[in-house]
């Protein structure tokens, strides 16, 4: 499996390009901004995107999804419970960035324990991890011992914010326990900052 971490947008969000080394089929996780930059890196790596996926609906994780989905003719996936956040992406983002063109368009919604996508020999599994947002999810590639956690938790030990009206501290810590139950050695790829091991 190949992984390229791109730091995008004014929030320094981690956008991940993840691909099968043999087929070069790829997914784009958390396309938070800077679509042109992401597309240049896709070209440099000579990979073929099959889907855009978001760990949650905050604008800094989805802002480039419409442009990328349109450019590559690929679907964009997120959990339905974060749909309300997507509908206000443009309005929210305008206070932080000039690159807000249109709200994301969802092709299909993610569900717990779903095999979200198979690309090449790799399969992403969806684990629902609400708390930071109602529809937060993590993507697990068990064969590679990798988990993409969005803003659930970070290398410094901190966790995603739960101060929004729609957030839940109780659910966040329950979600954290669920992900930390993965076997030791899994590499965690967070929405911001460096990756680390469980």
Q: What's the whole-model pTM score?
A: 0.92
pLDDT along the chain (198 residues), means of 10: 95 96 97 95 98 94 92 95 84 54 73 77 93 96 93 96 95 94 86 94
Walk me through the domains of the chain, giving residue ranges and CATH numbers: 2-193 (3.60.15.10)
- SS3 of the chain: the string is CEEEEEEECCCCEEEEEEECCCCCEEEEECCCCCHHHHHHHHHHHCCEEEEEECCCCCHHHCCCHHHHHHHHCCCEEEEHHHHHHHCCHHHHHCCCCCCCCCCCCCCEEECCCCEEEEECCEEEEEEECCCCCCCCEEEEEHHHCEEEEECCECCCCCECCCCCCCCCHHHHHHHHHHHHCCCCCCEEEECCCCCEEC
Please give the pLDDT value at position 180. Answer: 85
Please give the pLDDT value at position 78. Answer: 94
Please give the pLDDT value at position 104. Answer: 67
């Amino acid at each position: 499996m190949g992984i390229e971490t791109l730091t995008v947008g004014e929030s320094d969000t981690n956008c991940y390009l993840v691909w099968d080394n043999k087929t070069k089929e790829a997914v784009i996780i958390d396309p938070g901004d800077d679509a042109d930059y992401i597309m240049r890196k896709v070209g440099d790596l000579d990979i073929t995107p099959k889907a855009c996926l978001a760990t949650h609906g905050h604008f800094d994780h989805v802002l480039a999804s419409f442009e990328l989905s349109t450019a590559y003719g690929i679907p964009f996936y997120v959990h339905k419970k974060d749909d309300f956040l997507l509908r206000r992406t443009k309005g929210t983002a305008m206070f932080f960035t000039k690159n807000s063109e249109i709200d994301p368009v969802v092709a299909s919604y993610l569900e717990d324990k779903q095999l979200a996508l198979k690309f090449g020999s790799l399969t992403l599994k969806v684990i629902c991890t609400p708390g930071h947002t109602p529809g937060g999810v993590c993507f697990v590639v068990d064969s590679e011992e990798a988990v993409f956690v969005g803003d659930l938790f970070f290398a410094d030990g901190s966790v995603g914010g739960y101060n929004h009206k729609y957030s839940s501290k109780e659910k966040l810590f329950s979600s954290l326990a669920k992900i930390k139950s993965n076997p030791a050695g899994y590499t965690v790829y967070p929405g911001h900052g460096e990756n680390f091991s469980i």
